[in-house]
Amino acid sequence: MRYFVWALRLVVFIAVLMFALKNTAPVAVAFYGDVIVDHVPLIVVMLSTFVLGAVFGLLLTVPASLRRRREASRLRKELDRIHAAVSPASDARLSPDTIVPLSPL
């Protein structure tokens, strides 16, 4: 599965790169207000937009990732607590005389 994801990433990157290489004409980029940048190659605009989109997409996954990590840590601590309560050391306190056998119904 890991190789499939990397292959998919490579295909997307190559598709964006090939599309950008075919569109190298200079363009004017207008920002908010009166800021205009002339003669910027379209390849730069497209690749920077792609990278910014990928970065914002990754930033959107950070809160969910942190939430999952906290939940996993909490569950690990709870599992350790349960293992400590059920460990053989706690069973050593019980002698065979204190164990009551179950009677059949």
Domain spans, the chain = 2-82
**HSE-CB of 17 using CA atoms within 13 angstroms:** 6
**Per-residue DSSP letter, 97:** T
Closest CA to 44 of 17, 62, 70: 17
- The mean pLDDT of the chain is 85
The residue behind tokens 């004017």 is: 28
Task: Please tell me the total number of residues recorded for the chain in this structure.
Answer: 105
Q: What is the mean pLDDT of residues 67-73?
A: 95
Q: Model-level pTM?
A: 0.54
For residue range 9-58, what is the model confidence (pLDDT) as tens digits? 999 989 978 887 888 899 999 988 888 899 999 888 888 988 999 999 99
Residue 89 DSSP code: H
